[in-house]
Amino acid sequence: MSAGNGAVPISPDGAVRLEGGVEVKAGRHREASLYHALAGAGAGDGRTLAQLREAALKVYERSELPVWRRSGFWSTSLQSLDLDALETSVREEGVPEVVRRTLPDGPHAGRIVQSAGAVVQVELDRALAARGVILCSLEQAFEQHGELVSEWYCKRLPIDRHKLEAANAAFWTGGAFLHVPAGVVVEEPFEIVYAIDRAGVAQYGRTLVLGGPTSDFRVHEYDLAEDFGDETPPAPGPGQSLHAGAFELYLQDGARCRLAQLQDWGSGEVFDCSTRFVGVGRDAYCHWLPALLGGHLVRQHLELAVMEKGGDMAFRGLFFAEEHEHLDVFAVDLHETGPSGGDVHWRGAATGESRASFEGLIQIDPGAQQTHTYLQIHSMMLSPKARIDAIPSVLVAADDVSASHGGTVGELDETAIFYMQSRGLDRAAAVRVIVEGFFEPLVAELGDEALEQLVRGRVAEKLAAAREDIEAYATSR
Amino acid sequence: MADLEIKDLHVRTEEREILRGVDLEINRGEIHALMGPNGSGKSTLANTLLGHPSYEITSGSIVFKGQDITESEPHERAKAGLFLAFQYPVSIPGVSVANFLRMAINAKRDEPIQVKEFRTQLQHAIELLDVDKAFTSRHLNDGFSGGEKKRAEILQMAMLAPDIAILDETDSGLDIDALRTVAEGVQRLHDEQGLGALIITHYQRILHYVKPQFVHILMDGRIVLEGGVELVERLEREGYDQIRQEFGGQGELAA
């Protein structure tokens, strides 16, 4: 697998420089893009883990907590995070209650659970282990499968863009490693769980997943926190927790993966600043669907890249922000070679005084001919003080491609509500039907009944919690 | 006392007064046609009867089965047994026809309907309205053709079994086959379940398939002429202009 040798260098003024010195002038779309796709190789350039940790530590020490500002829109600032007050505990006992409560009982191929800084549970189907499937902590993987892990670790992820990325690379403990070897087909999902059960935790989650040639499998990641914000009186000590995550998944020739993520950090003051990279190899396919359902301040850099010819992807996602939550998603649909296919479809809703921003970038690198991709983002605002910014952008440096984007911004449709009321549904039920219907095309794509029910259930809970807010909005118009 | 009694109903929107004193009585088992030119207030009456929030009742009353529902919420009117087949049915993406029907039926009941009972009812309604079974698993009105939307309205009416249904220009935009299916559906619900209906239209053609016992002509927010099916024939011969010449002055005087 080549490591992104077709990536586009982007200069600080936003212009794109192509091979041979040709410069593509920045258009309006370019100026609208605040974040950049990860360019070129990651930090894993042959250095040992210790060397990478040391390099990251230096960046950590000299950098400030990150702030991203977009004039006229919003700022995403992690500067209110009191990092010194948080601890990365590696002595954790047992699987946290929130995990027991939330995870479906259904069959799974394997499960790994990290609580705060320690892996507290690892399960793997014996028959799969016998066929060479590996599921263990990333720490253990470095000890026992050093050669395999080192080849892929940080292949595309950098460690130096900001303080929290560096902190993860320097301080991560536990972690998850999954390897599905060539030709292995697994029906049931592998579950990777990161849980925070109290305030005062800094969790540096680190995941590496490898899909060997023609392997076929599912990964369900859960990011869960106890509702420690609800404690009255408030628990003593700092009220914050942090999840700074780094996730990488590489699919080799002809591999197929369905990757779903359920993120719900509950009502506590949980900050989440994570980067996820999925690399699709030759003729491989990934269906990726994050469901971002809560967190005090969440910033996600999500990148799904076709790295070799014939790769194809479906990049889905949904989010639902409530109360005072702040969500900032940057999703990249990256094509490094062609022919390749992409299909990006996101849906988000916001209630209360929440803020959500979704920035979707289609980037087609030079030489990625015969790429066909489409990005759509639909949003629905359910309260007068909620705000969603949907910012699509397209960066194309090849001429035989099709790339476009579309989307809708919606509010509750009073005609639809009256229509349903005229059939006997009360107003709250009608609103629920509309919002659930809005998310349903994506929820149904999860393709896993238990996970679908979990997401539907959370959406219903959020709507119930925001009922008064939604009523007030309707009567104010 | 009639099942549905509309008395001296005056209705306005933010811009203007639309209904200027409508009186109408409808019983179960009766088929009424309400006809009138564009802008006469037919759709306003339909929407007002179900409590659309954009229409304000300035005076008059609506009494349904002895209960004054003039101020009731739309869903309360529906639960009491009123139904409105929309002129422009709204699409509800993400919800199948069958699931929506189940929700609507359960909204009227204390106990949720049994799966088997629901299936039987649905099967019966599907046959009545000559629709494909696959139709019920499609998202409600989402991507439906004009004819499919109107069939879906009648399918809902058949399943919800109201006492009185108001059909707001259900015939507009339908080809002759769809029109016949829809009209025959209404006639059969009348014959089998004793449905009472107010069929709002400004064409005569639907009335070739459903035979109204009572015909009312609405002009400028007021019922100006009432009679039996012979009124439809007269209208066909003379058109609205003739009637307007005869009765139009009254509205002006009253205003």
Interface predicted TM-score (ipTM) over 0.90: yes
Distance between B90 CA and the closest CA of chain A, angstroms: 6
Asked if the Cβ–Cβ distance from B94 to A423 is below 8 Å, we say no
Closest chain A residue to B140, measured at CA? A437
pLDDT at B250 over 80: no
Give the model confidence (pLDDT) of A388-401 as tens digits: 999 898 999 999 99
- Tokens 């921003």 -> residue: A357
| Residues in contact with A320: Cβ distance below 8 Å, sequence separation at least 6, in sequence order | A292, A293, A294, A348, A349, A350, A351, A439, A458, A459, A462
Chain A environment of B73 (Cβ under 8 Å): 421, 426-427
Give the model confidence (pLDDT) of A189-245 as tens digits: 999 999 999 999 999 999 999 999 999 999 999 999 999 876 655 555 568 999 999
What local confidence, expressed as pLDDT, does residue A221 receive? Answer: 98
* b (16+ CB within 10 A) / e for A430-450: bbbbbbbbbbbbbbebbebee
- Tokens 């509702």 -> residue: A227
What local confidence, expressed as pLDDT, does residue A474 receive? Answer: 67
Asked if the Cβ–Cβ distance from A426 to B94 is below 8 Å, we say no
Mean pLDDT of A95-105: 95
Cα–Cα distance measured from residue B20 to residue B222, given in angstroms and rounded to the nearest whole number = 6
Spatial strand order in the sheet of A387-396: A134-136, A176-180, A202-211, A240-251, A269-280, A297-306, A326-335, A355-364, A387-396
pLDDT at A7 over 70: no
Highest mean pLDDT of the ranges A464-468, B45-49, B169-173, B242-246: B45-49
What local confidence, expressed as pLDDT, does residue A238 receive? Answer: 65
Tokens describing residue A458: 């959370």
Residue A408 contacts B where some CB pair is shorter than 8 Å = no
Give the model confidence (pLDDT) of A452-471 as tens digits: 999 999 999 999 988 888 87
Asked if the Cβ–Cβ distance from A422 to B107 is below 8 Å, we say no
| Residues in contact with A333: Cβ distance below 8 Å, sequence separation at least 6, in sequence order | A304, A313, A315, A342, A344, A360, A361, A362, A363, A373, A375
Residue A424 contacts B where some CB pair is shorter than 8 Å = yes
- Tokens 């680190």 -> residue: A206
pLDDT at A9 over 80: no
Q: What is the interface size between A and B, counted as CB pairs within 8 Å?
A: 75
Closest chain A residue to B105, measured at CA? A424
State percent of chain B over pLDDT 90. Answer: 66
- Average the pLDDT over each of A53-57, A181-185, A221-225, B154-158 and give the range with the smallest value: B154-158
What local confidence, expressed as pLDDT, does residue A233 receive? Answer: 55
Highest mean pLDDT of the ranges A20-24, A82-86, A210-214: A210-214
Report phi then psi at A407, rounded to 5: 175, 175
Give the model confidence (pLDDT) of B126-142 as tens digits: 888 778 888 899 999 99
Asked if the Cβ–Cβ distance from A420 to B89 is below 8 Å, we say no
What local confidence, expressed as pLDDT, does residue A14 receive? Answer: 41
Mean pLDDT of B146-171: 92
Cα–Cα distance measured from residue A298 to residue A291, given in angstroms and rounded to the nearest whole number = 12
Mean pLDDT of A435-455: 94
Q: From residue A190, how far is each of A122, A123, B109 by CA, in Å?
A: 11, 10, 42
Asked if the Cβ–Cβ distance from B74 to A414 is below 8 Å, we say no
Contact present, A403 and B55 (Cβ < 8 Å): no
Nearest to A423 among B52, B139, B160 (CB): B160
Chain A environment of B108 (Cβ under 8 Å): 424
What DSSP string describes A208-232?
EEEE-TT-EEEEEEEEEE--GGG-S
Contact present, A225 and A193 (Cβ < 8 Å): no
Enter the pTM of the model: 0.85
Going by C-alpha positions, the residue among A137, A86, A367 that lies closest to residue A240 is A86
pLDDT at A8 over 70: no
What local confidence, expressed as pLDDT, does residue A124 receive? Answer: 98
Chain center to CA of B75: 16
Q: Who wins on pLDDT, B125 or B60?
A: B60
Give the model confidence (pLDDT) of A355-390 as tens digits: 999 999 999 999 999 999 999 999 999 988 899 999
Label residue B54 left, alpha or beta by phi (over 0 means left) and psi (-120 to 50 means alpha).
Answer: alpha
Tokens describing residue B45: 């009456």
Asked if the Cβ–Cβ distance from A433 to B86 is below 8 Å, we say no
pLDDT at B94 over 90: no
